[in-house]
With several copies, the nearest count.
Chain A
Amino acid sequence: MSSQENKKAIPGTIVFDGEQAMKGYALNKMCYSFNEEANREAFKVDEDAYCEKFEITDAQRAAVKKRDVLALLNLGGNIYYLAKLTGMFGLNMQDIGAQQSGVTLEEFKAKLLAAGEN
């Protein structure tokens, strides 16, 4: 898809294109680092210092603190790298699916089960 085509919005969806990638590079790099256990431990010991080291923006820092996935996506986060961050907070893909779509986990699961019954 060309950068022009990317501009066409999909409702409820943020396409992770070059524009998003430019915003989120440092944030995603931090999240990528969580593939290593030692880095996860360092983050847990001192979240602020860890974020500092990767030079993420204040807005990103605040969204990390709030575990706010939608905000992080808007600030350039990519869902696959973010999953490594939210995983540390004990949130799996269904938890963050519910969080983003603004429903409870049970409602989110029920919606998926319902899709299976059509």
Chain B
Amino acid sequence: MARLIGGIGSSHVPAIGNAIEQNMQSDPYWKSFFDGYVPAWKWLEERKPDVAILVYNDHGLNFFLDKMPTFAIGAAPQYLNSDEGWGLKPLPPFQGHPELSWHIIDSLVNDEFDITMCQEMQVDHGFTVPMNLMWPEQAKRDQIKVIPVCVNVVQAPFPTARRCLKLGEAIGRAVASYEEDLDVVILGTGGLSHQLDGERAGHTNREFDTEFLEKLSDEPEWLLQYSNLELAEIVGPQGVEMIMWLIMRGALNKQVTELSRNYHIPISNTAAGVILLENSA
């Protein structure tokens, strides 16, 4: 049977991709950020998962307002990347695991999640930056199979934090019921606090982010007390991306071991975080 071995929460700002591209990991601006990933790199190297489920949000590459899904899951043999109109140098295609994708989709729809199924899908920096961060070598990225889970935080209404946590739990059940012997890791990417638009652009909130990271392992329900509108006020409209981390957390067991955590302001306009959670056996 397939096993969810753990989860990683991570930021996904495009600037990170540029920094990797330009080998700036030891630059003073970047050093303390990249240092936070060392435990994740070691853990991934040791545990060598076969599949990564990547929970992220599209920023206007694959989805437009004509068809904006709340939850979309990829079921493609591979996923292409592109320049998004302004930014990163595209990465080579990512290899999918369509059989596991379909198993998860079947399971979720039966579990009353109203999934948008995507048999062709371009993945943007919300997906590629974490992949690049977790597996900096192309050879490693070619080995691991991916399943994109895309969550709407572009067009309000966004899914509630409660719904996200439940989706995570349902993904956990789906993976556990897959017959093939596979080790699966789940990544939740985006956030933490940041605001790109409006006069308040540049807003961050260290205190709230810190509490969020503190509660994530043992009390993820803590975030559910806030509506998405309240969250937008507290952590900025784009900081709401942290609900992606809840999906990751929800997929794991009730008991997890927090193996590492890092927090750093600023990366570009954001507060950047990373957390590594291992599923208890």
Contact = CB atoms under 8 A, between A and B. Distances in A.
B198 A84 contact: no
Contacts of A69: 197
Given A35-B61, A70-B198, A8 B268 contact: no
Interface stretch (B2-10, B79-87, B211-219): B79-87
The interface residues of chain B, by DSSP majority, are classed as: loop
Interface residues of B, number: 56
B202 A14 contact: no
Given A3-B103, A21-B119, A34 B85 contact: yes
A112 B266 contact: yes
B197 A73 contact: yes
B128 interface: no
Given A29-B64, A78-B155, A84-B60, A14 B197 contact: yes
Nearest to B271: A115
Contacts of B139: none
Interface residues of A, number: 57
A101 B200 contact: yes
Interface string B234-268: 00111000000000000000000000000011101
A102 B199 contact: yes
Given A115-B204, A118-B206, A8 B196 contact: no
Interface string B139-175: 0000000000000001111100000000000000000
Interface stretch (B40-48, B105-113, B129-137): B105-113
Contacts of B198: 12-14, 70, 73, 100
Interface of B: 14, 59-61, 64-66, 75, 77, 82-87, 98-99, 101-103, 105-107, 110, 119-120, 154-158, 195-204, 206, 227-229, 232-233, 236-238, 264-266, 268-269, 271
